[in-house]
Chain A
Amino acid sequence: MPVLMDDVAGRAEPRPAPGGATGSPRRGWWTSRRRDQLAGLLFVTPQLVGTALFVLLPLGLVVWYSLHEWNVLADTFDFVGTENYRELIDDPKLPGVLRSTLFFSVGLVVFNLALALLLAVLLNQRLRGTVVFRTLFFSPVVVSLVAWTIVWGFLLQDNGGVNGVAGAVGLDGPNWLRGEWTALLSVIVVQVVKNVGLNMVLFLAALQGVPAELYEAARVEGASRWTQFRRITVPLISPTILLTSIITVVGALQVFAQIAVLTQGGPGTSTTVLVYYLYQQAFQFHQFGYGSTLSVLLFLIVLTLTVVQWRMRRKWVFHEQ
Chain B
Amino acid sequence: MRKRLTAVVALAAMLGLSACGGGDSADSDGPVSLRMTTWSANEAHLKLFNEIAAEYQSSHPNIAKITFDPIPFESYTTTLTTQIAGGNPPDLAWVLENAAPDFVSSGALLPLDETLRKTDGYAFDELAPAATKLWQADGKLYGYPFSTSPFGIFVNTDLVKAAGAKSPAELIATNAWTWENAVTTASAVAAGTGKAGLVVRDFDYKGWDNLSTIWTGWGAQAWSADGKTCGFNATEMVDAMTFLHRAIFTAKALPGPGTAADFFAGEAGMTITQISRASLLEKQKFGWDLVPLPAGPKGAYSVIGQGGMGVLKKGKHADAAADFLAFLTNPANSAKLAQFFPPPRTPLLTAATLAKTNPLLKPAQLQSVVIDGIANGVVKPNHTGQAELSQAVRSALDPMWKADADVRAVLDGVCSAINPLLAK
Partners in one complex: yes
Interface check B9, CB cutoff 8 A: yes
* B106 and A73 form a contact (CB under 8 A): yes
* B107 and A266 form a contact (CB under 8 A): no
* B258 and A268 form a contact (CB under 8 A): no
* A71 and B401 form a contact (CB under 8 A): no
Digit string of B257-300 for contact with A (CB within 8 Å is 1, else 0)?
11110000000000000000000000000000000000000000
Question: Once bound together, how far apart are the Cα atoms of A184 and B269, in whole Å?
Answer: 33
Interface check B26, CB cutoff 8 A: no
Contacts of B201 in A (CB 8 A): none
Partner of B5, one of A64, A70, A71, A154: A64
Known: A57-B12, A73-B106, A283-B78. A158 touches B394 (CB 8 A): no
Digit string of B319-350 for contact with A (CB within 8 Å is 1, else 0)?
00000000000000000000000000000000
Known: A61-B12, A73-B102, A75-B107. A280 touches B391 (CB 8 A): yes
* A157 and B258 form a contact (CB under 8 A): yes
Interface-forming stretch among B44-52, B81-89, B145-153, B174-182?
A: B81-89
Interface check A321, CB cutoff 8 A: no
Interface check B363, CB cutoff 8 A: no
Interface check B229, CB cutoff 8 A: no
Digit string of A47-58 for contact with B (CB within 8 Å is 1, else 0)?
000000100010
Partner of A285, one of B2, B5, B385, B394: B385
Known: A73-B106, A268-B395, A268-B399. A286 touches B257 (CB 8 A): no
Interface check B398, CB cutoff 8 A: yes
Number of interface residues of B (CB under 8 A): 35
CB distance from B212 to the nearest CB of A (A): 20
Question: Once bound together, how far apart are the Cα atoms of A280 and B256, in whole Å?
Answer: 27
Contacts of B391 in A (CB 8 A): 265, 280, 284-285
* B259 and A158 form a contact (CB under 8 A): yes
* A73 and B260 form a contact (CB under 8 A): no
Partner of B388, one of A176, A177, A285: A285
Interface check A74, CB cutoff 8 A: yes
* B84 and A72 form a contact (CB under 8 A): yes
- Quick one: closest B residue to A158, CB to CB? B258
* B108 and A73 form a contact (CB under 8 A): yes
CB distance from A118 to the nearest CB of B (A): 31
Contacts of B388 in A (CB 8 A): 284-285
Contacts of B84 in A (CB 8 A): 72-73
* B85 and A288 form a contact (CB under 8 A): yes
Known: A157-B259, A266-B398. A61 touches B85 (CB 8 A): no
Interface check A267, CB cutoff 8 A: yes
Partner of B258, one of A53, A57, A178, A285: A178
CB distance from A94 to the nearest CB of B (A): 15
CB distance from B78 to the nearest CB of A (A): 5
* B398 and A268 form a contact (CB under 8 A): yes
Question: Once bound together, how far apart are the Cα atoms of A196 and B388, in whole Å?
Answer: 35
Digit string of A170-182 for contact with B (CB within 8 Å is 1, else 0)?
0000011110000
* A286 and B102 form a contact (CB under 8 A): yes
Contacts of B396 in A (CB 8 A): 268
Interface check A269, CB cutoff 8 A: yes
Contacts of A154 in B (CB 8 A): 260
Contacts of B387 in A (CB 8 A): 284-286
* A74 and B2 form a contact (CB under 8 A): no
Contacts of B257 in A (CB 8 A): 158, 175, 178
Interface check A228, CB cutoff 8 A: no
Contacts of B102 in A (CB 8 A): 73, 286
* A177 and B258 form a contact (CB under 8 A): yes
Question: Once bound together, how far apart are the Cα atoms of A283 and B388, in whole Å?
Answer: 11
- Which of B108, B258, B394, B396: most chain A CB closer than 10 A? B258
Question: Once bound together, how far apart are the Cα atoms of A283 and B258, in whole Å?
Answer: 26
Interface check A159, CB cutoff 8 A: yes
Contacts of A61 in B (CB 8 A): 9, 12
Interface check A264, CB cutoff 8 A: yes
Interface check B314, CB cutoff 8 A: yes
Known: A158-B259, A284-B387. A64 touches B9 (CB 8 A): yes
CB distance from B400 to the nearest CB of A (A): 10
Partner of B398, one of A79, A267, A285: A267
Contacts of A265 in B (CB 8 A): 391, 395
* B106 and A74 form a contact (CB under 8 A): yes
- Quick one: closest A residue to B78, CB to CB? A283
- Quick one: closest B residue to A154, CB to CB? B260
- Quick one: closest A residue to B399, CB to CB? A268
- Quick one: closest B residue to A180, CB to CB? B398
Contacts of B12 in A (CB 8 A): 57, 61
Digit string of A243-283 for contact with B (CB within 8 Å is 1, else 0)?
00000000000000000000011111100000000001001
Partner of B206, one of A71, A74, A264, A280: A264
Interface check B103, CB cutoff 8 A: yes
CB distance from B325 to the nearest CB of A (A): 19
Question: Once bound together, how far apart are the Cα atoms of A159 and B85, in whole Å?
Answer: 40
Question: Once bound together, how far apart are the Cα atoms of A186 and B260, in whole Å?
Answer: 18
If A61-B9, A158-B258, A284-B77 are given as contacts, then 16 extra A-B residue pairs at C-beta distance below 8 Å, sorted by A number, are A57-B12, A72-B81, A73-B107, A74-B106, A75-B107, A156-B258, A158-B256, A159-B258, A175-B256, A178-B205, A267-B401, A268-B395, A269-B395, A283-B78, A284-B78, A285-B388
Interface residues, chain A, CB within 8 Å of chain B? 53, 57, 61, 64, 70-75, 79, 154, 156-160, 175-178, 264-269, 280, 283-286, 288
Task: Sort A-B residue pairs by CB-CB distance and give the 10 closest, nearest first.
Answer: A73-B106, A158-B258, A267-B398, A74-B106, A73-B108, A72-B85, A285-B388, A284-B387, A175-B258, A178-B257
